[in-house]
C-alpha cells in the first residue's frame, strides 16, 4: 500500500506528458500556426515556459516519488523516522533557483512585451492611420471605419462607416485598431492572431497586428460579460488592400442608400427590387 502513492506520483507526470503529446491530435492544442509574426514570438515564449515548467514538474514528482519509496523501504528495514527542523542550505537553493528562473523569464520576454504593448514601439505605419474603432458591447462588436481616404478620428464623424461583428483589415501590413467598451468589460480575442486585449469602459486602447495570410479568423469575447457572452462572435477578415478599399466603398454605398434613389451597386439594386 505504501508503494501505491509512489506509483500515483509517478503516474501524474507520465499522464501529463502523454496528454501534451497527444493533445494536438484531439484538437486541444493551439489553433494552428500563429498568423502574425508577433504571434510566432509569443508561441516561442509559451513553448520556452512550457519546457521549464515540464522539467520542474517532472523533477518535483520524481523527487517526491523517490522520497516515498525510500521512506517505505526504511520502515521495512526497521529504520525509524527522524524529524528535522529543515535544511537551510537546501531551502536557500530552492528559493534562489526559482527566483533566477523567474528573473530570466521576465527579462527575456520584455522585447515581445514592448512590441505588443508599449505604444511608442508600435509600427509608425499602423499608428498613423488606425484602420477602425471596435466598440465591444453586450453582445456584439460595433465597428467604425473612417470614410475612404480619411483618417479615423477619436470623435465619430458624419461620414464614418459602421458595421457589426465583421472586421476587415489589409493583409501583410501592420494595422492598428482602437478598442473601446460601451457597457461592461469585454475582451477582444483572435486566437489565430494571438491577439487578446481587454476592452474597458472609459478607455480607448490601441492594439496592432500584422496578419500574414489572407483569410477569415474567428473573433470572440474572452471575458464573461453577461448572459449573451457566448454570442459575441465575429471575424477578422484579412484581404489585399485593394479588396479592403472596395469593401469600404461597398459598405459606404449600402449605408448611404436610401432605398429610393438609383442604387450605386448591383447588390443594392437587387435588394431594392425585392
Q: Which residues bind Cu ion (CB under 5 A)?
A: 186, 221, 225, 232
CB atoms within 10 A of CB 236: 25
Query: Are 219 and 230 within 8 A, CB to CB?
Result: no
- Residue 268 makes CB contacts below 8 A (sequence gap 6+) with 253, 254, 257
Shortest CB 221 distance to Cu ion, Å? 3
Shortest gap between Cβ of 16 and Cu ion (angstroms)? Answer: 32
- Shortest Cβ 231–Cu ion spacing (Å): 9
Q: Based on CB atoms, which residue is closest to Cu ion, 65 or 225? A: 225
Closest CB to Cu ion among residues 219, 221? 221
Cβ 135 to Cu ion, closest distance in Å? 11
CA dihedral angle for residue 69, residue 70, residue 71, residue 75, rounded to 10 degrees: 100
C-alpha distances in Å from residue 141, one per residue of 15, 130, 138, 229: 40, 17, 8, 12
Contact 129, 149 (CB under 8 A): no
Nearer of residues 176 and 232 to Cu ion, judged by Cβ: 232
* Cβ at position 220, least distance to Cu ion in Å: 9
Q: How many CB atoms lie within 10 A of CB 208?
A: 23
Residue 215 vs 226, nearer CB to Cu ion:
226
Handedness of CA 137, 141, 142, 144 (dihedral sign): positive
Q: With respect to Cu ion, which residue has the nearer C-beta, 47 or 230?
A: 230
Amino acid at each position: 500500500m505504501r508503494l501505491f502513492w509512489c506509483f500515483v506520483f509517478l503516474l501524474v507526470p507520465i499522464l501529463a506528458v502523454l496528454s501534451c503529446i497527444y493533445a494536438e491530435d484531439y484538437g486541444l492544442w493551439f489553433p494552428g500556426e500563429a498568423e502574425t509574426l508577433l504571434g510566432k514570438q509569443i508561441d516561442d515564449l509559451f513553448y520556452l515556459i512550457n519546457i521549464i515548467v515540464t522539467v520542474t514538474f517532472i523533477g518535483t514528482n520524481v523527487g517526491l516519488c523517490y522520497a516515498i519509496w525510500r521512506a517505505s523501504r526504511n520502515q521495512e528495514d526497521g529504520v525509524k523516522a527522524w524529524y528535522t527542523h529543515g535544511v537551510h542550505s537546501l531551502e536557500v537553493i530552492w528559493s534562489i533557483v526559482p527566483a533566477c528562473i523567474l528573473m530570466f523569464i521576465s527579462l527575456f520576454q520584455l522585447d515581445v512585451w514592448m512590441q505588443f504593448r508599449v505604444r511608442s514601439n508600435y509600427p509608425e505605419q499602423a499608428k498613423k492611420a488606425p484602420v477602425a474603432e471596435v466598440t465591444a458591447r453586450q453582445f456584439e462588436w460595433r465597428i467604425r471605419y473612417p470614410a475612404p481616404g480619411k483618417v479615423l478620428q477619436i470623435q465619430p464623424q458624419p461620414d464614418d462607416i459602421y458595421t457589426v461583428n465583421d472586421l476587415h483589415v489589409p493583409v501583410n501590413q501592420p494595422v492598428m485598431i482602437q478598442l473601446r467598451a460601451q457597457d461592461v468589460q469585454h475582451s477582444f480575442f483572435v486566437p489565430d492572431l494571438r491577439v487578446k486585449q481587454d476592452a474597458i469602459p472609459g478607455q480607448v486602447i490601441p492594439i496592432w497586428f500584422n496578419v500574414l495570410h489572407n483569410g477569415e479568423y474567428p473573433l470572440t469575447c474572452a471575458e464573461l460579460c453577461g448572459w449573451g457572452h457566448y454570442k459575441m462572435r465575429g471575424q477578422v477578415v484579412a484581404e489585399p488592400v485593394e479588396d479592403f478599399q472596395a469593401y469600404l466603398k461597398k459598405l459606404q454605398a449600402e449605408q448611404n442608400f436610401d432605398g429610393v434613389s438609383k442604387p450605386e451597386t448591383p447588390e443594392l439594386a437587387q435588394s431594392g427590387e425585392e
